[in-house]
Amino acid sequence: MLTSIAGRSVIVTGASKGIGKGIARVFAKQGAKVLVVARTLADAEACAEELGGGASAFAADVADWDQSQAMAAAAVECNGGIDILCANAGVYPQTNIEDMDPAEWDLVLGTNLRGNFLSVKACLPALKASDQGRVVLTSSITGPVTGFPGWSHYGASKSGQLGFMRTACIELAKHNITVNAVLPGNIITEGLEGLGDDYLGTMAASIPLKKLGVVEDIGNAALFLASKEANYITGQTIIVDGGQILPESLEALE
Ligand code: NAP
């Protein structure tokens, strides 16, 4: 049982749907004051209402510096500071390199990588003021460990997050702030559910635990990294993928 989250001020970016919503739900259940951030205010508000308690909503594009600063200011105003930043917002359009418009590359790197940098930079003054500052990035197995057709930009952004993390954790250590990352495998989200049972069944068959993850699996890993109990862990990754990256061949899955 992790006991150190109640009353903490938490920002979760990309929290109106999918994994971010799962992270927000896990923190809210532990009594944290969660700021739900997404570009679409109505979705962020609906999520905050569903979470209840101390949750509130804010609309911001994490790729925009002014909006990132406004997000951090809103958390300080609503919740009295920022203890934990879960930088989770991300996009993953799927396009082969040959067909990819350079603007799509910029969108993915801008949201997933520049977005992490801007969120951390904007929250830094408040995180420094916390006695237990925590940054948890949502990366992916795609890029850091695996590749997938159509996701060259996405994989580059997700690997880039880890390069960013390894220097950020050293720079921020003197402020007692830890920076870690969760690397999800295939997690069931609203978007993935829409792909149908055949697709989900094929995906599950490639995973040793024979099932896709749920958003709370990522939320629980983020919760641990944000807890007091994880205070000596920084610059590290936790892969949450049901063993997906391990099989050498189909034979290993029989
Ligand atoms: P999702 O269901 O598509 O939700 C994305 C969330 O991010 C939404 O709340 C969206 O709301 C918000 N968002 C998108 N662009 C944003 C921006 N520029 N600024 C602020 N918010 C933004 O995505 P997901 O599948 O949960 O993925 C979440 C994270 O997990 C991503 O970083 C992704 O790379 C990572 N991940 C997912 C999986 C998976 O299996 N699902 C696997 C590995 C890693 P608005 O559109 O309203 O802004």
Ligand 1 in reach of 219 Cβ (< 6 A): no
- The CATH number that applies at residue 29 is 3.40.50.720
Instruction: Among 11-20, 112-121, 166-175, 194-203, name the one with the lowest average pLDDT.
Output: 194-203
Answer whether residue 197 is part of any domain.
Answer: yes
Residue 124 lies in a domain: yes
**Any residues with CB less than 8 A from the CB of 251 and at least 6 apart, and which?**
none
State how many domains the chain has. Answer: 1
Q: Which two tokens stand for residue 10?
A: 């938490």
pLDDT average, residue stretch 35-62: 97
The pLDDT of 238-253, averaged and rounded, is: 95
The whole domain housing 145 covers: 9-239
Indicate whether 120 belongs to any domain: yes
**What are the tokens at 101?**
């418009």
247 in a structural domain: no
- Judge whether 213 and 186 are in contact, CB under 8 Å: yes
89 CA closest ligand 1 atom index: 7
Q: Is residue 3 part of a domain?
A: no
List b or e across 140-170, with b for residues whose CB sees 16 or more CB atoms inside 10 angstroms. bbbbbbbeeeebbbbbbbbbbbbebbeebbe
Residue 248 lies in a domain: no
75/12 Cα distance (integer angstroms): 10
Task: Answer whether residue 120 shows pLDDT above 90.
Answer: yes
**Residue 108 pLDDT:** 98
**Cβ of 213 below 6 Å from ligand 1:** no
Could you tell me if residue 80 is inside a domain?
yes
Q: How far is the CA of 122 from the centre of ligand 1 (A)?
A: 19
Is 154 one of the annotated active-site residues of the chain?
yes
- On whether residue 252 sits in a domain, the answer given is no
Q: How confident is the model at residue 254 (pLDDT cuts 50, 70, 90)?
A: confident
